[in-house]
Structure 1
Amino acid sequence: MTTMNISLPEEMKAFIDAQIAREGYASASEYVRDLIREAQRRHARNELDVKLLEGLEGPAVEMTREDWDAIRREALEGLRDGGSAP
């Protein structure tokens, strides 16, 4: 792990201290790491939303029986492999 020092106004430090006490975090570092993980999750969801919208904007393609069979086969292989499918 690496260390990062940040400067905060007293009001923000007091808020963090209150959150640590209220939410049961062990330290300010743990609290900040949790905030960063949540920001990363939001970012990933936003990227997925953009990709889904891009997909919806493209031309509609009718799925064939072979397409559905291939999707089913890949899903079952992923389950057999413990979820490590691409």
Structure 2
Amino acid sequence: MAQMNISVPDRLKDWAEARVAEGRYSSTSDYMRDLLRRDQDYEAKRRNLVAEIEIGRQSPDSDKTIASIIAEARKNR
């Protein structure tokens, strides 16, 4: 496993140590790994959303009303 050293203000160090003290994490390293994983997940979701928005922007206009779109979605649930 690679090692990484970071410098943070005392306030952030205290915050991370408090998360560990609560018992949610076994160490500050465990806490930082969880934050990095969450950031990776967030970025993947953000990129997917941006791609889906672009697909929508490139699609042709529709004559459907909002009400008909909602009704169709409810029907397909």
What TM-score does the superposition give when structure 1 sets the normalisation length?
0.64
Which deviations, in whole Å up to 9, do the C-alpha atoms of 1:25-75 show, x marking residues without a partner? 111110000000000111001000011001111234xxxxxxxxxxxxxxx
| Identity within the alignment, % | 35
Matches within 5 A, 1:46-85: 46-60=46-60
Which amino acid is the alignment partner of residue 14 of structure 1?
A: D
What displacement does 1:23 show?
A: 4.5
Q: Which runs of 5+ in 2 are unaligned?
A: 61-77
Alpha carbons of structure 1 residues 18 and 57: separation in structure 2 relative to 1, 3 Å: same
CA distance in 1, matches of 2:19, 2:34: 12
Query: How many equivalent pairs are there?
Result: 60
Which amino acid is the alignment partner of residue 30 of structure 1?
A: D
* Two-structure CA RMSD over aligned residues (Å): 1.2
Higher relative CO (Cα under 8 Å, sequence separation at least 6) belongs to 2
Q: Which runs of 5+ in 1 are unaligned?
A: 61-86
